[in-house]
Structure 1
Amino acid sequence: MTRKTGAIAALKKLENERAKLDAKQRELETKAATELGRMLLGSGIEAFSAKGLKRIGAALGKMNEEQALAVLKIGGSASAG
């Protein structure tokens, strides 16, 4: 009986930990979105439609940074921008 109770307690603990991690992930996603938004504001990209911006982001996200810079014909490394 003790083993079952131990397993039940362990499951409850795991569920609580998972809920805390989910909340932490949502918090960090919000902070990351804010950081990204601040980087992009004033760049002109805010004039793009949400759908278009999402498509562009998904396409760029499939490339590494150097590939994306080359496709966009932006020379040099990211530090040059």
Structure 2
Amino acid sequence: MTRKTGAIAALKKLEADREKLNEKQRELEAKAATELGRVLLGTGVESYSTKHLKRIGMALGKLGEERALEQLGISNASATK
């Protein structure tokens, strides 16, 4: 019987831990969104529609950083300025 009770207690603890991790993930996602917003403000993309900005971001993400810079004609040296 102890094993059964132990397994039940372990499952309950796992569920509680999972909820804590989910909450932490939501907090970090909100902070990351704020950081990204700060980076993008003043670049001109804030005037893009949400739908198109998301599509552009997804396309750039699929390309990867180096390829995206190359496709946009931006050299690494000028990208860090």
Task: Tell me the TM-score normalised to structure 2 length.
Answer: 0.94
Q: Which residue of 2 aligns with 1:32?
A: 32
Quick one: higher RCO (CA 8 Å, sep 6+), 1 or 2? 1
Q: Which residue of 1 aligns with 2:20?
A: 20
Is 1:6 the counterpart of 2:15 in the alignment? Answer: no
Deviation at 1:63, TM superposition (A): 1.8
Question: Where do 4+ consecutive residues of structure 1 move more than 3 Å?
Answer: none
Name structure 1 gaps, 5 residues minimum. none
Task: Tell me the TM-score normalised to structure 1 length.
Answer: 0.94
Identity %: 69
SS of equivalent to 1:37: helix
Alignment of 1:1-81 (within 5 A): 1-77=1-77, 78-79=79-80, 81=81
